[in-house]
Structure 1
Amino acid sequence: MKLIAAGQEYIIENNSVMIETILNIVDQALRDHSLVFCGFEVNGEEFYDDLAQLVADRGETIETIVAILLTQEQWRRETLHSVKEYLQNSLPLVETLYQDFYDGPSERVWQEFGKLIESMEWISKVAEYTDSQAFLDYQEEVRNLGIAVSQQDTGQIGDIIQYEIIPRFEKAIETLSAKDGGKAFDIN
């Protein structure tokens, strides 16, 4: 099989040390070129899970593996673009979620709420690595929601979503708005 990492092509034998060989080559490319590893493209399809499992499942059918390696700035821009897309797609759902808490949340609402918390934690992690804490750090809101959940105060949960999270999502979307077709962000 062929491995491509940082523009270099390698022929890798399908044997017991193949995964270790691939990871060593990728690790060396990261160090040599100061890149960020994002995942693999396997036979033209992006793949972000366990490479060893993929090779175990599809080993002989894999022809080409491309290591997806980005510069720090490319990674930062793509990550912020992903956050913006997530916020835009989730805002309509979040705008109905708060009302569901006022009306008495169902099991589905609690599941959606759990997804919201997870995504806010992910966005807060992104903020740490992209110098965007000013508008993407939701740790305080997550803490406030945790307190409201522990007090079983569904009205307070609705208030936090309506009056804290939705305005912050809207401001983040505005801040992340692209100046140039989705490629350049003004985060200041």
Structure 2
Amino acid sequence: MQLNIFGQTFEYRNDRSELEAMFQKIFSMIDEVDRQLSHLVIDGVEVYDDFETYVEERIDSIRTIDVVAVTIEEYIRDVFQTMHLYLTRALPEIERIIDEFYQTPSEHTWIRFEQMLEGIQWIDQALYWLTEHPKHSLDRQALARIRETLAEQLRQLLQAVEAGDTILIADLIQYEVKPLWKDIMEHVKVHVVN
């Protein structure tokens, strides 16, 4: 398979034993030029996370891997744009989840609730990266406070799930999660270039 990065091409055998060396090459070259890995384009498919698993599962058939790396500023802008897009779509869905938890949640409600929790985890990971990355001028303290609040809400939600209290779940989403997500949305809007 062919690895294309920063105008250079490297050949690797389609063998699992090659993967560690290939990923070391990717990350060392990205570090050398002070970039951030955005995603990989593997045989025309954009892959944004869990690269190793994706490659490993398709190792026998991969022909090309193109590395897309961006500046820290571009990466931060992309993170905020992705977060903005997610929150814009998620907020109306939260309303439906709240309504359904105040009634009798269906299996589909629980699936959407689980997706909401995954969204919270993704936001937390993004905020963690932003608070820990030293090469930007964002308000780290504000981001850290949002993360702390998000973590506390997640803890409370999980306790409500363990207790089987669907009204408490609805209340927490209505009065804790939704307002925080709106605050995050306002914070993110400042950094999103439309």
CA contact (8 A) 2:37 2:69 kept: yes
> Which residue pairs with 1:140 in the alignment?
152
Q: CA deviation at 1:176?
A: 1.3
List gaps (5 residues or longer) in structure 2: 132-142
CA contact (8 A) 1:4 1:10 kept: yes
> Which residue pairs with 1:111 in the alignment?
111
> Which residue pairs with 2:178 in the alignment?
166
- Structure 1's consecutive aligned runs of 4 or more residues displaced over 6 angstroms after TM superposition are none
RMSD: 2.3
The 1:52–1:151 alpha-carbon spacing in structure 2 relative to 1, beyond 3 Å, is: closer
The 1:180–1:52 alpha-carbon spacing in structure 2 relative to 1, beyond 3 Å, is: closer
CA contact (8 A) 1:37 1:68 kept: yes
Q: CA deviation at 1:100?
A: 0.7
The 1:136–1:88 alpha-carbon spacing in structure 2 relative to 1, beyond 3 Å, is: farther
Distance in 1, matches of 2:180 and 2:22, equals: 42
Equivalent pairs, count:
177
Q: CA deviation at 1:155?
A: 0.9
> Which residue pairs with 1:186 in the alignment?
none
Letter in 2 for 1:53: E
Q: Residue 33 in 1 paired to residue 42 in 2?
A: no
The 1:179–1:39 alpha-carbon spacing in structure 2 relative to 1, beyond 3 Å, is: closer
Q: CA deviation at 1:45?
A: 2.7
Aligned residue runs from structure 1 range 26-175, under 5 A: 26-47=26-47, 48=49, 49=51, 50=53, 51-56=55-60, 58-59=61-62, 62=63, 64-131=64-131, 132-135=143-146, 137=148, 138-175=150-187
CA contact (8 A) 1:124 1:133 kept: no
Aligned residue runs from structure 1 range 1-12, under 5 A: 1-5=1-5, 7-12=6-11
Distance in 1, matches of 2:95 and 2:193, equals: 27
Q: CA deviation at 1:18?
A: 4.6
Q: Tell me the secondary structure at the aligned position of residue 58 of structure 2.
A: helix
TM-score if structure 1 supplies the norm length? 0.81
The 1:100–1:142 alpha-carbon spacing in structure 2 relative to 1, beyond 3 Å, is: same
Distance in 2, matches of 1:13 and 1:179, equals: 39
Q: CA deviation at 1:32?
A: 1.0
Q: CA deviation at 1:122?
A: 1.7
Q: Tell me the secondary structure at the aligned position of residue 84 of structure 2.
A: helix
The 1:2–1:102 alpha-carbon spacing in structure 2 relative to 1, beyond 3 Å, is: same
Q: Tell me the secondary structure at the aligned position of residue 69 of structure 2.
A: strand
Distance in 1, matches of 2:14 and 2:122, equals: 37
Q: Tell me the secondary structure at the aligned position of residue 41 of structure 1.
A: strand
> Which residue pairs with 1:185 in the alignment?
none
Distance in 2, matches of 1:178 and 1:46, equals: 28
Q: CA deviation at 1:83?
A: 1.2
CA contact (8 A) 2:40 2:65 kept: yes
Deviates more, 1:93-102 or 1:28-37: 28-37
In our comparison, the structure showing a higher alpha carbon Rg is: 1
